[in-house]
Amino acid sequence: MPFGAGLRDALGAPAAVRLLDSSPRSSVWAAELPRGGPVVVKQLVQGPGAEERYAREVAGLRIAGRLRPPVTPRLLGTDPSARVLVLERVEHGAPGEEWEIAYATALARLHAAAPAEVPPATDTEPAADPESAPLPRWSGPDRTDIDSFLTLARWLGAAVPARVPAELERLSRRLDRTPRRPALLHGDPCPGNDLHTADGIRFIDFEQASIGNGLNELAYLRVGFPTCWCVTAAPEPLLLAAEAAYRSTWREATGTEPEGELADACAGWLIRGDALVERALRGTADQLARLTREDWTWGTATARQRLLHRLEVVARMVRNTDTALAELGTLCADMAGRVLTHWPELRPVPARRPHPSP
């Protein structure tokens, strides 16, 4: 386990070290420290983007670490030369029956941790000290995503209403706008990255942290955790209760209302083909075009099941409403029907479970 002289001087020599399961992008150990107690030691593995992921994780944890009660484990030490973080070890317990409400409440508190004035992030040269780099702005779907989605609609045989391309262009611009009161976004707030403790939920794994609109992560509950292995469909009353808890918690923490529309956030995840595959495959292919040729399973659902679920979600959210996505809603309903015509054996995504732990 990498544990350099600086960490030893600050926290003592580690004991009872054992390797834990983790993603291929990191190595994680449990250990005991004389001046830290039970800890988790995480090293970001060398590879493309490792320095950026390390910088994002450190920045996200430090911003969120100011909150009381906490919504993250305490960050006890870092070693930027080896991309190592030392974190308080917290144990995942049994989530409550309606865990989505507690999850949404904790997510709102995490989002509200961002300072009201966020320093601008740069997309040019990386900071000399990776731990001083500001978090980047969240980026939404772009022109390529729009084109791929419309190509899929036509492949399915759907009639694309004349105003849909313009609706999607305006949607992309709205999603790309940083709100007046920005949020600290986790980047992957999925079951497995939320530890349910006796003192509340703690989020871990901030490698994709950014600054943006919190509704883009609140949408996870409706569209089925788009960056995650687990897709389930929760009942509407539970979704409404969770979303109300998010909004009231954000209001209490910031004194403001969440900006934007949840339907926009859900539509944004719908048209992103990379929201159909795990992280290692993102940016490698047009996934919406790929699913016309093949279906594949990731976690609890296949790509075509994920697509159908999101089409139905967006269609329901804008049905019989005079919104900026009215024509897209019509198209989504048409596409959902045609998906089932093309693949009649397709089943809905699984119904929710008490908590889809890995």
- Asked whether 247 and 257 are in contact (CB, 8 A), the reply is yes
In a domain, 356, yes or no: no
Question: How far, in Å, CA of 306 to CA of 303, rounded?
Answer: 5
Total structural domains within the chain: 2
In a domain, 56, yes or no: yes
Tell me, yes or no, whether 64 and 199 share the same domain.
no
Tell me, yes or no, whether 229 and 143 share the same domain.
yes
pLDDT score recorded for residue 131? 60
Tell me, yes or no, whether 260 and 140 share the same domain.
yes
In a domain, 211, yes or no: yes
Task: Using CB atoms within 10 Å of the CB of residue 236, give its burial: 0 to 12 exposed, 13 to 18 middle, 19+ buried.
Answer: exposed
Tell me, yes or no, whether 155 and 71 share the same domain.
no
Q: How far is CA 75 from the centre of its chain?
A: 21
pLDDT score recorded for residue 328? 97
Tell me, yes or no, whether 148 and 76 share the same domain.
no
Tell me, yes or no, whether 143 and 188 share the same domain.
yes
- Asked whether 265 and 221 are in contact (CB, 8 A), the reply is no
pLDDT score recorded for residue 38? 96
Residue with tokens 């054996």: 345
In a domain, 131, yes or no: no
Domain interval for residue 66: 5-88
CATH code of 28's domain? 3.30.200.20
- Asked whether 228 and 299 are in contact (CB, 8 A), the reply is yes
In a domain, 316, yes or no: yes
List the pLDDT tens digit at each of the 358 positions of the chain. 999 999 999 999 999 999 998 888 899 999 999 987 999 999 999 888 899 999 999 999 999 999 999 999 999 999 999 999 999 999 888 888 899 999 999 999 999 999 876 655 554 444 555 566 689 999 999 999 999 999 999 999 999 999 999 999 999 999 999 999 999 999 999 998 999 998 899 999 999 999 999 999 999 999 999 999 999 999 999 999 999 999 999 999 999 999 999 999 999 999 999 999 998 899 999 999 999 999 999 999 999 999 999 999 999 999 877 789 999 999 999 999 999 999 999 999 998 776 766 5
Question: How far, in Å, CA of 71 to CA of 253, rounded?
Answer: 14
Tell me, yes or no, whether 147 and 35 share the same domain.
no
pLDDT score recorded for residue 296? 97
pLDDT score recorded for residue 278? 94
Q: What is the 3-state secondary structure (H, E, C) of the chain?
A: CCCCHHHHHHHCCCEEEEEECCCCCEEEEEEEECCCEEEEEEEECCCCCHHHHHHHHHHHHHHHCCCCCCCCCCEEEEECCCCEEEEECCCCCCCCCCHHHHHHHHHHHHHCCCCCCCCCCCCCCCCCCHHHCCCCECCCCCHHHHHHHHHHHHHHCCCCCCCHHHHHHHHHHHHCCCCCCCEEECCCCCCCCEEEECCEEEECCCCCCEEECCHHHHCHHHHCCCCCCCCCECCHHHHHHHHHHHHHHHHHHHCCCCCCCHHHHHHHHHCCHHHHCCHHHCCCCCHHHHCCCCCCEECCEEHHHHHHHHHHHHHHHHCCCCCCCHHHHHHHHHHHHHHHHHCCCCCCCCECCCCCCC
pLDDT score recorded for residue 97? 86
